[in-house]
Amino acid sequence: MARIQLIDIAHSYDPGAAPWALKPLTTTWEHGGAYALLGPSGCGKTTLLNIMSGLVRPTQGRVLFNDLDVTLLPPEARNIAQVFQFPIVYETMTVFENLAFPLRNRRWSGTEIRKRVHEIAEILELGADLGRRAQGLSAEIKQRLSLGRGLVRPDVAAVLFDEPLTVIDPHVKWLLRRKLKQIHQQLELSLVYVTHDQTEALTFADRVVVMAQGEILQTGSAEELFETPAHQFVGHFIGSPGMNFVACEWREGAARIGDAAIRSRSASPPDRVESLSLGIRPEHVTLHQAAGDNCVPARIVSLRDEGTRSIAVIEIAGQTVNARLPQAPRFSANAPLFAHFPAERCALYADGRRVA
Amino acid sequence: MNRIKPVNQRAWWLVLPVLLSVAFSALIPLMTVVNYSVQDILGPSQRVFVGMEWYKETLRDPELHAALLRQLTFSIAVLLIEVPLGVALALAMPARGWRASLTLVIFAMPLLVPWNVVGTIWQIFARGDIGLLGYVLARLGIGYNYAQNPTDAWVTVLIMDVWHWTSLVALLAYAGLRAIPEAYYQAARIDGAGRWAVFRYIELPKLRPVLMIAVLLRFMDSFMIYTEPFVLTGGGPGTSTTFLSQYLTQKAVGQFDLGPAAAFSLIYFLIILLACFVLYNFMNQAETRDAT
């Protein structure tokens, strides 16, 4: 059982000189949750993970496990397992010895170790390989083995994964991912899964935490991240193609693209903003030949047929917008065209952040 | 003939320069030695074919047996001291920052000193009258004289070699250590592994290929050691520091027994080849045994 709380955590790899690798943040990871930490390379997600496991001591802030302050505890004293990007196994040992290693270091007796190792090997389907040297195993088995070394400790309450599928062959990736989900349910563990792959994050986790440049931008379910991105970055990063952001102005009580007033779910933006944009997913943009409410004159620049759908790149007031259409549109070349932005699907973003 | 691909035989001309240089630097001298080894050279134009005679004589030479035994003991001692010491030093060296650069420079220094200078340094350093080491030992009441006591001479040559070459092992091991990804250490911390376990199960296995090179290099080099003992002791006192190459030189240059010396060098060459072959295979086998 573990609820992990990070209170005002921040980290710099060279305090005083380098900028924050991780800007001050406070967040809670509930017991038994499956979380994904999603963000581009260098956004601080691995740093955040290492702070939780104790490999990195944060420059400021506190880490609580079940309300107990563990900030100063070393990794071996925390009930946390970590699986790294590249499979880490002790190559000169057998699979059995690898699994027994954390227990031997904790001075377990031989019979207890045997019992526990066989239990875990059973769960991870490593039973047949117990006598083999770890060196010759495939990357996928090695990765299961390094997960096993974490799970073998019965007190482990959370497993942290740092892009664990990077070196796994595509055809066994889904096997391993399914195994992870199964273990999550079977052992009632909290899982935190770091990745830069949105599909991996969205299929694996109940809650996805999106990070960029050392900050947590949004935490939510796959649907929330897709429908109501809290930040322009989240909109861009999730979805394919990402969310459209059209620069607009606030005049006479309405957001306007050119002269057209566009209603959205957002209230009026704060008074002083550097930039104001209208965000809409390509999935919600539709094209019409007649003008109407919430419509903007548009011109098709190019069309890309993706089989079941097509992506139209259109130009609106000098800006490029993607529209995902169910089938290739048939419009006469010279007729006027309008893009319709449904008001309930639009939101305003002031300086990158969503306006409520 | 199968018509697979037309082969342009003129490509062989590209190999010619290398072939020529290898021929003149290795093949022809080697054949000359083989030629000498089966003849008795009486004078510049007087020679007699003697067949395997020199080989038989060399193999029966008790002085050679003694030199070979001395040589083996020396090389084994060198390996037993320099490899563990080198690894220990590499482990103690700072990993980054200006201290790392400084240590690397200091460690590289003995390797930059010409071999006869190393001999000269130690010859003076260990002298009882003016050398720092010899003088201190004498003042401490330790009877030490490398010029007269065979054991002292042998130990001095050994220490000199350790001083000269441990750096090489240390630098190789250091490079090997730096190549171990940080995640291995992190995983070991989470597994609760102690310092010894980290060394035994992470660092040592990862260092193995590098150490294999170090052992081979140090074995070959120490087996052919010549300059330093020549400068320090001249092979003495008696024959206590006369190693194989020294003995060979005495025969070839000192006594001008070209035939026996040639037979000797070929046997010497074969011994080194055989020893390296056995050593390499032994270590390689240990590796593959671990892999399966």
Q: Which tens digits make up the pLDDT trace of B237-291? A: 877 888 888 888 887 777 767 888 888 888 888 888 888 888 888 877 776 655 5
Selected residue of A88, A94, A97, A138 to mutate for chain B interface (largest B Cβ count, 10 A): A88
- B185 reaches A (C-beta below 8 A): no
Selected residue of A13, A53, A85, A92 to mutate for chain B interface (largest B Cβ count, 10 A): A92
- B192 reaches A (C-beta below 8 A): yes
Look over chain B and give the mean of its residue pLDDT values, rounded to a whole number: 86
- Which phi and psi (to 5°) does residue A324 adopt? -100, 115
Domains and CATH numbers, chain A: 4-236 (3.40.50.300), 243-354 (2.40.50.140)
- Answer yes or no: is pLDDT of B292 > 50: no
- Which phi and psi (to 5°) does residue A159 adopt? -115, 130
Give pTM, 2 decimals. Answer: 0.79
- For the record, the structure tokens of B284 come out as 């390689």
The answer to whether the Cβ–Cβ distance between A84 and B186 falls below 8 Å is yes
CB A142 within 8 A of CB A87: yes
**Which one has a higher pLDDT value, A181 or B88?**
B88
Of A55, A85, A101, the CB nearest to B191: A101
The answer to whether the Cβ–Cβ distance between B201 and A149 falls below 8 Å is no
- Answer yes or no: is pLDDT of A349 > 50: yes
Q: Which residue has the tokens 């389907």?
A: A125
- For the record, the structure tokens of A258 come out as 């050119």
Furthest C-alpha separation in chain A: 83
Digit-coded pLDDT (tens) for A208-237 = 999 988 888 899 888 888 889 999 999 988
Quick one: pLDDT at residue B271?
86
Domains and CATH numbers, chain B: 61-291 (1.10.3720.10)
Quick one: pLDDT at residue B288?
64
Residues of A in contact with B181 (CB under 8 A): 86
CB A78 within 8 A of CB A65: yes
Arithmetic mean of pLDDT, A245-268 = 84
| C-alpha to C-alpha distance for B211 and B179, rounded to whole angstroms | 14
| C-alpha to C-alpha distance for B118 and A58, rounded to whole angstroms | 51
Digit-coded pLDDT (tens) for B193-239 = 889 999 999 999 999 889 988 998 899 889 888 888 888 887 778 77
Digit-coded pLDDT (tens) for A146-160 = 989 988 888 888 889
> What does the buried/exposed string (b/e) look like for B30-50 if buried means 16 or more CB atoms within 10 Å of the residue's CB?
eeebeebbbbbbeeeeeeeeb
Query: Is the ipTM above a cut-off of 0.90?
Result: no
> What does the buried/exposed string (b/e) look like for A125-151 if buried means 16 or more CB atoms within 10 Å of the residue's CB?
ebeebbeebbbebebbbbbbbbbbbbb
- B190 reaches A (C-beta below 8 A): yes
Chains A and B form CB pairs within 8 A to the count of 60
| C-alpha to C-alpha distance for B274 and B223, rounded to whole angstroms | 12
Digit-coded pLDDT (tens) for B147-158 = 788 888 888 889
Arithmetic mean of pLDDT, A29-34 = 86
Cα dist from B210 to B111, B169, B216, whole Å: 18, 9, 10
Digit-coded pLDDT (tens) for A289-338 = 888 888 888 888 888 888 788 888 888 888 889 988 877 777 766 778 88
| C-alpha to C-alpha distance for A126 and A120, rounded to whole angstroms | 8
Quick one: pLDDT at residue A269?
77
| Span between the terminal Cα atoms of chain B, in Å | 43
Quick one: pLDDT at residue A1?
56
Digit-coded pLDDT (tens) for B108-155 = 999 998 888 888 888 888 887 888 888 888 888 787 787 788 888 888
| C-alpha to C-alpha distance for A293 and A337, rounded to whole angstroms | 14
Digit-coded pLDDT (tens) for A88-133 = 999 889 999 999 999 998 888 888 899 999 988 888 888 888 888 8
Of A90, A102, A136, the CB nearest to B201: A90
